[in-house]
Amino acid sequence: MPGLEDQLRRPVRGMRDITPEQYYALKKVEDGLSKVAEAFGYRRIETPAVEHFEVLARKAGREIVDEIYYFRDKAGRELGLRFDMTVPVARVLSYRLDEPKPVRWYYFTKVWRYDEPQHGRYREFHQFGVELVGSDSPRADAEVLALMAKSLEAVGVRDYVIRLNDRAAMDRMLASLGVGGSREEILRALDKRGKVPDGEILEMLRRAGLDGATAEALMALISERRPGSEAPDFFSKYDRDLGERYGRIVKALDAYGVLGRFEVDLSIVRGLDYYTGLVFEAYAGEYRLAVGGGGRYDNLIELYSGVRTPALGFAIGVERLMEAAGITRAERPLDYYVYPVTEDAFKTAVEVAEALRDKGASVAVDLGELTLREALERAAKTGVAYFVIIGRKELEKGVVRIRDMRKRVELEVELDRVRGGLASPYAP
């Protein structure tokens, strides 16, 4: 039989198989990130992969709508796969208006985007993120920023920077330049900075209605970068209240001990239209793409619930974070491999395996198709910690033979002790 054609052996374009060694790396990252969110008092939420298309489209800007996986089900409903978790969270809160505020929720789950696949850009990927809903305090901004910093640290990223900007400051800046064109289109063009050549951005700005000189002036203005601690002074140039707000944010970031990680960067505008205040993106080491991004969106929840509800959050792209942190695989070797040499020994082998499993060990029993030598070779290759041999001699003596695969030593342990469930043959 010829089997599957080549192209059918591979996952659908933009999708990836997650094999066990990759899965355990993902799980480690999931555990590390969840621990941080839980420690900050956030609680996990999960929602269906499939949403009403209309719900997704209501928030998505033009660019994102094209990226939605769209389909009709057999009953003719127009549906789509979620492209982030902010929309589902807003939808959930729209029927849970009594949820005590502020709401602190986090997620670690899959999202789908019909994007052009390339390095660091997939059609199915994981996002970890938080939503802090119902507060417009600057402390809320600082909490979410600090949480982003702590999340990166939790997975071992030491070298990172979080670049921030503010949409309100951008509005003032555009107004001061007398910009008349489409604000949305301009911000979307600026968001491409660093991702496409400057010439292309200038061209997009011109298409958005800016004359050449204004486009150049805008590009020069957004080149500015300052240490995070200068945010209050910097933003007060645009608006005194905004300066004061950043004064409080900076103070809170300092309290969290992460202020040094932040930089004001006017080229961070974020692609989506719904941000109203703080916007930010995280970069790790030499990794070129943003590992995460977020911001404040005080008008978004209202689109779904009809009630004005200030909110902010961030999302980290888990695959990108793992690549940036160099976490791609994690071994999960067996603790024990139990080998009954004879048919008689099988029952005892199962008994031993069950006792060890009860103690939390990960144990496989040989299926009777490998010779002892083959089984040992295989165990050495796959990284089994202990190989348990039960033959006629052992049965007669009431012992099992345990081989420490790493130290390459063997010892006999009484069957009763093993039945009692020893955690390690060397345990006292």
Closest by CA position to 422, among listed 360, 364, 372: 360
Select the residue interacting with ligand AMP from 143, 319, 366, 394 (CB under 6 A).
Answer: 319
In whole angstroms, the minimum distance from the beta carbon of 288 to ligand AMP comes to: 11
Select the residue interacting with ligand AMP from 277, 317, 340, 425 (CB under 6 A).
Answer: 317
| Residues in 73-92 at the binding interface with ligand AMP, rule: CB under 6 A | 84
Question: Contacts with ligand AMP: how many residues (CB under 6 A)?
Answer: 16
Task: Give 125 or 246: the residue with its C-beta nearer to ligand AMP.
Answer: 125
Task: Give 269 or 352: the residue with its C-beta nearer to ligand AMP.
Answer: 269
Asked whether position 192 contacts ligand AMP by CB under 6 A, the answer is: no
The two counts, helices (H) then strands (E), for the chain are: 18, 17
Task: Give 324 or 418: the residue with its C-beta nearer to ligand AMP.
Answer: 324
Closest by CA position to 173, among listed 245, 249, 224: 224
Return d(Cα 254, Cα 181) in angstroms, integer: 38
Task: Give 72 or 195: the residue with its C-beta nearer to ligand AMP.
Answer: 195
Q: Assess contact for 70 and 80: CB atoms under 8 A.
A: yes
| Residues in 286-315 at the binding interface with ligand AMP, rule: CB under 6 A | 290-293, 315
Closest by CA position to 336, among listed 314, 306, 364, 295: 364
In whole angstroms, the minimum distance from the beta carbon of 283 to ligand AMP comes to: 10
Q: Assess contact for 126 and 319: CB atoms under 8 A.
A: yes
Closest-by-Cβ residue to ligand AMP is 317
Task: Give 191 or 394: the residue with its C-beta nearer to ligand AMP.
Answer: 191
Task: Give 264 or 290: the residue with its C-beta nearer to ligand AMP.
Answer: 290
Task: Give 114 or 256: the residue with its C-beta nearer to ligand AMP.
Answer: 114
Omega cis (within 30) before 102: yes
Strands of 50-52's sheet in order across = 50-52, 78-81, 70-72
C-alpha neighbours within 13 Å on the C-beta side of residue 206? 10
- Exposed e or buried b for every residue in 90-124, given b needs 16+ CB within 10 A? bbbbbeeeeeeebbbbbbbbebbbbeeeeebebbb
Task: Give 102 or 292: the residue with its C-beta nearer to ligand AMP.
Answer: 292
Q: Assess contact for 329 and 313: CB atoms under 8 A.
A: no
Closest by CA position to 357, among listed 341, 376, 337: 337
In whole angstroms, the minimum distance from the beta carbon of 409 to ligand AMP comes to: 47
In whole angstroms, the minimum distance from the beta carbon of 148 to ligand AMP comes to: 11
In whole angstroms, the minimum distance from the beta carbon of 176 to ligand AMP comes to: 27
In whole angstroms, the minimum distance from the beta carbon of 106 to ligand AMP comes to: 14
Tally of CB atoms within 10 A around 274:
17
Q: Assess contact for 141 and 165: CB atoms under 8 A.
A: no
Asked whether position 127 contacts ligand AMP by CB under 6 A, the answer is: yes
| Residues in 105-124 at the binding interface with ligand AMP, rule: CB under 6 A | 113, 115, 120-122
Which H or E run includes 214?
helix 212-221
Task: Give 291 or 388: the residue with its C-beta nearer to ligand AMP.
Answer: 291
Q: Assess contact for 334 and 160: CB atoms under 8 A.
A: no
Task: Give 104 or 123: the residue with its C-beta nearer to ligand AMP.
Answer: 123
In whole angstroms, the minimum distance from the beta carbon of 252 to ligand AMP comes to: 23
Asked whether position 357 contacts ligand AMP by CB under 6 A, the answer is: no
In whole angstroms, the minimum distance from the beta carbon of 342 to ligand AMP comes to: 53
Look up tokens 């939790």; give the residue.
Answer: 154
Residues forming the site for ligand AMP (CB under 6 A): 84, 113, 115, 120-122, 125, 127, 290-293, 315, 317, 319-320
